[in-house]
Structure 1
Amino acid sequence: MATSKDLAALLLASCLAVTAGNTPLAAQQPQRPNVVFILADNVGYGDLGPYGGGELRGAPTPRIDQLAREGLRLTQFLVEPACTPSRAALMTGRYSIREGLSLILVPDGPNTLSARSVTMGELFKSAGYATAIFGKWHLGKDPQSLPTAHGFDEFYGIPPDMTWDSATYVEKIELTHSLPAPHDVLLSRGPQVIEATAGGELRNVKPFTPEVRANIDDELVEKSIDFMRRQKAAEKPFFLYLPFSMGHIPNLPSSGFKGKSRIGNYGDKLMEGDYHVGQILDALKELGVDENTLLVFASDNGPSGEAFREYGNAGTPDMGSSGPFRGELGEATEGSIRTFCFIRWPGQVKPDTTSYAMFSIMDFFPTFASIIGAKLPSDRPIDGVDQTGVLRGQNETGMRDSLLSFIGGDLVAARWKQWRVYFTDVYPTGIDPQRQPGPGSASAPMAGYPKIFNIEMDPHEDLNVFGLFPFAGEPALKVVGEFLLSVKKFPNPPAPNITQFQNAARKE
């Protein structure tokens, strides 16, 4: 028979249950979410519908428009100047120069992800997540550099030291007769689609040809959905990293999207990528994990521009739009390092919202660590900052007001609030048809003073206002000084360079 004390305890428990049931979802302690990170490749700020592109660019993006309505749109999302640097920053939460990866990785080059690096794969693995990457790694093919050596259970994609245009290598070799070998031999020696599991070796699946390139995103999305389905059946939280090919030259659309846009292959591939984002959104709902999945869709860089326009077909350039900003992939200008980012997390991220908070691609590393309860490495600088407050709408300005930009071994520019400060002058090389911006640019030190632009007053960076607003350089230089102090305590590895060989030629 229940005593009065038992009844009182039961009544108290009932009241607490009712109170918890009435607590707003965002105020409850949520279970650890699944995390899906979709990374586009060289898609510019002005390409997608929610940023003024889409239909106005001749390439509607309805599913991405839907994603924007269902989540948060960042309007000051900042990356590094090129593919490898941005991916290194994303995976480690650190400036790419701290990993020796501040230039685009080239096959058999000297720089590669270190065994000592701690990646996002390891972060999620330490918290009990199943992890997978399907697509482009671009951080090195050495055994210690592979994603499956850094916390990822599964990897399927292109060669981990190459990018999407490697699909054209064999045909370009044959075009120029560079290597005298039969076609089948060149295919067998050329870039391969590969796969691997944790701790295992790379296995070749098939040659990475232009035909395979055109359909690779179909494969990557199919494998992504299968991975999520398997983890749902195993009742295990998952981290899916889907760095697919949308936006990167050569933009070869699959047959279902060929000719769909009004601007050629580039627009066709934007529409195809929009479809694939929709497939992931639909799969999350069908699997019943939609309400507990944090999804990010971002680009690693600003757009390919003039440097790669010849990859287009029928007179249509294979290049994106940086919107109101100046520059393209490979430079340190605003149009190169500012691009799109959407974050969707039902019940935690308020739908149909926009944030102007400065948010770096490095910030996802500590932000995810905070959300899933993982520990950050304590034996190295972490340059990213926890932006959970931005996601949840609790912090309007965010936790960052500055960002440095590196190209190779050079600190070339800094952002402080709305000010861009340049320490070297990056400019296109050559003239007329040989003009090369982007990765083909040259640079020269400033003559003692930096250039300063106010990107809110002057988004295209046409007016150097050093003489009008010299005070803006002081806080930027303070940020530089803090970085240099950290390097004294934690020295950087050798910066990547494939044009200077003094060290290699020096006698022991």
Structure 2
Amino acid sequence: MKKYSYLLPMTIMATVANVYGANRGSDRPNVVFIYADDIGYGDLSCNGATTIHTPHVERLAANGIRFTNAHAAAATSTPSRYAMLTGEYAWRRQGTGIAAGNAGMIIRPERYTMADLFKSVGYTTGVVGKWHLGLGDKQGTQNWNETLTPGVRDLGFDYSYIMAATGDRVPCVFVENDRVDNLDPSDPIEVSYEANFPGEPTGKEHPEMLRMHPSHGHDMTIVNGISRIGYMKGGKKALWKDEKIAETLTEKAIRFIEQQKDKPFFLYLATQDAHVPRVPGEQFAGKSGMGPRGDCLLEFDWTVGQVLDALQRLGLDENTLVILSSDNGPVVDDGYKDQAVELLGNHKPGGIYRGGKYSAYEAGTRVPCIWSWPAQIKSGQVSDALVSQIDWMATLAKVVGADIPQGAAPDSRPQLDAWTGKDKIGRETLVTQNAANNLSLLSGEWKYIRPGGGAAYEYNVNIELGNSKEPQLYNLKQDPQEKHNVATQYPEILKVMSEKLEDIVDGRYGLPLY
């Protein structure tokens, strides 16, 4: 399928890639994203966690730059991934909220993506892991037994091995290059988010069949003794084994790296850890002392170590840019009784910050983030610069010498000096969104949360959401935990912040605002 008309003609793109390759050759870095799921700023020992030890992440941080003020674009999965891969704030587009398991493609094929950018300069592109951005044309119309079109290849990825949606939603299958992996044609898959299929047990009706019980929701089709969101029938040979998800995805990622070792590649590795349902592999089960959620943090760390070891073994570690981050902030109980709450102890998944996944407060979008590129980034750095995943696209265009077509990645800004540690300030302003699509503006030491609807507290997950009909203003330097709303004390700052946010929302902004 064709991209928008702002794309360069393919012949010109090929010429650009060839000239660039001739001029730069082997100094173009490979790029690997390791994207955690629901792992918070305080979940990793490199950020000060003392109840959990993640040595491989520490190793990555020691070899590069660790960010203390890095943000996902949103406090939930689908919009943060959309923004990261397109360079456009998700709140600008309808239909970019948390995707159902049978959602159609949320990033449309005509959209210019991160993968398109890398392909334009000759990279081989791959995505492995959690997708959660929809497949096929429209919600509920997919034929899971045929090639899914439009699919991930239409977004610029040469290779894909993905979870159809996310771990707690059906269909619980892997999709390789837009076809369900290991599907038996005599046992076709059927999926519904409207009604169950006759004779198929659900967690709500048959709790005796469960090995992990839901705490709220998640009581529909049972797969591997765990009830999910949505209804599914068939595809028994294709079903993933929850204990093997991390192992399978890590193996696929390393195989991609091995196969592409002699030419530049971009790999987006999106882990399931530590999203629910949390079913760590045998070697991690019971090892953290914090239940399955803590064990999945160890499993995530293992994945990071496996990737770093593979790069080193293949001689690629010096000139590979490895980026580690998370799609949003943490959540402890997100739908299953897995003892995450009971065994949390003194561990603080969001670090010192208020809120968590779904929230407008800092723990919703302030996430772990590391950039490591030994050939170009000085090791052992820590940066307090305000940075955002939405800028990865424009920044990486500078890294690899790509030109972003006019009209693409409208909210992404080149911030290479900040991402490499030379600029200690980063963005002047940054917009984030919470699960209710209420927006916040960060600028220097100030944070403004726009008034909006929605509950102030989500009792199922025990998280403050930050929704309020009153404006909120916090000085993050003096009050990083956002305990004191000073909107009435600083009306002039409130006015400037609110006007800046409205300028950005309305599109009346330019580079000086950033």
* Fold match by TM threshold 0.5: yes
**What is the CA–CA distance in structure 1 between the aligned matches of 2:402 and 2:373, rounded to whole Å?**
19
**What is the CA–CA distance in structure 1 between the aligned matches of 2:31 and 2:395, rounded to whole Å?**
12
**What is the CA–CA distance in structure 2 between the aligned matches of 1:172 and 1:82, rounded to whole Å?**
30
Is this contact kept in 2: 1:249–1:311, CA < 8 A? no
Deviation at 1:411, TM superposition (A): 4.0
Residue 87 of structure 2: aligned partner: 93
Q: How does 1:19-168 map to 2 (within 5 A)?
A: 31-53=27-49, 56-57=50-51, 59-79=52-72, 80-109=74-103, 112-143=106-137, 146-159=151-164, 162-166=165-169
Pair 1:316-2:348 in alignment: no
**Which of the two has higher C-alpha Rg?**
1
Is this contact kept in 2: 1:36–1:239, CA < 8 A? yes
% of aligned pairs identical? 32
Deviation at 1:190, TM superposition (A): 2.9
SS of 2:295's equivalent?
A: helix
Is this contact kept in 1: 2:204–2:220, CA < 8 A? no
Deviation at 1:376, TM superposition (A): 1.1
Is this contact kept in 1: 2:128–2:269, CA < 8 A? yes
Deviations 1:343-377 (CA, angstroms, capped at 9, x unpaired): 10012111000111111110111111111111113
TM-score (norm 1): 0.77
Relative to structure 1, is the Cα distance of residues 245 and 107 closer, same or farther in structure 2, using a 3 angstrom cutoff?
closer
TM-score (norm 2): 0.76
Is this contact kept in 2: 1:101–1:111, CA < 8 A? no
Pair 1:455-2:476 in alignment: yes
- The one-letter code of the counterpart of 2:163 is I
Relative to structure 1, is the Cα distance of residues 89 and 33 closer, same or farther in structure 2, using a 3 angstrom cutoff?
same
Relative to structure 1, is the Cα distance of residues 100 and 114 closer, same or farther in structure 2, using a 3 angstrom cutoff?
farther
Deviation at 1:309, TM superposition (A): 6.5
Q: How does 1:359-438 map to 2 (within 5 A)?
A: 359-380=387-408, 382-398=410-426, 400-407=427-434, 410-424=437-451, 427-429=455-457, 437-438=462-463
* Count of aligned residue pairs for this structure pair: 433
- The one-letter code of the counterpart of 2:120 is S
Residue 506 of structure 1: aligned partner: none
**What is the CA–CA distance in structure 2 between the aligned matches of 1:148 and 1:472, rounded to whole Å?**
46
State which of 469, 492, 496 in structure 2 corresponds to 1:445. 469
**What is the CA–CA distance in structure 2 between the aligned matches of 1:112 and 1:409, rounded to whole Å?**
18
Return the structure number with greater helix share.
Answer: 1
State which of 250, 255, 258 in structure 2 corresponds to 1:221. 250
State which of 281, 284, 294 in structure 2 corresponds to 1:254. 281
Deviations 1:373-419 (CA, angstroms, capped at 9, x unpaired): 11113125621211211233322212x12122334784432212221
State which drifts further: 467-476 or 42-51: 467-476
Relative to structure 1, is the Cα distance of residues 40 and 320 closer, same or farther in structure 2, using a 3 angstrom cutoff?
farther
**What is the CA–CA distance in structure 2 between the aligned matches of 1:384 and 1:179, rounded to whole Å?**
39
SS of 1:310's equivalent?
A: coil
SS of 2:368's equivalent?
A: strand
Is this contact kept in 2: 1:265–1:316, CA < 8 A? no
- The one-letter code of the counterpart of 1:163 is T
Relative to structure 1, is the Cα distance of residues 271 and 236 closer, same or farther in structure 2, using a 3 angstrom cutoff?
same
SS of 2:507's equivalent?
A: helix
**What is the CA–CA distance in structure 2 between the aligned matches of 1:477 and 1:182, rounded to whole Å?**
47
Segments of 5+ residues of structure 1 without an aligned counterpart are 1-27, 194-203, 490-508
Is this contact kept in 2: 1:93–1:383, CA < 8 A? yes
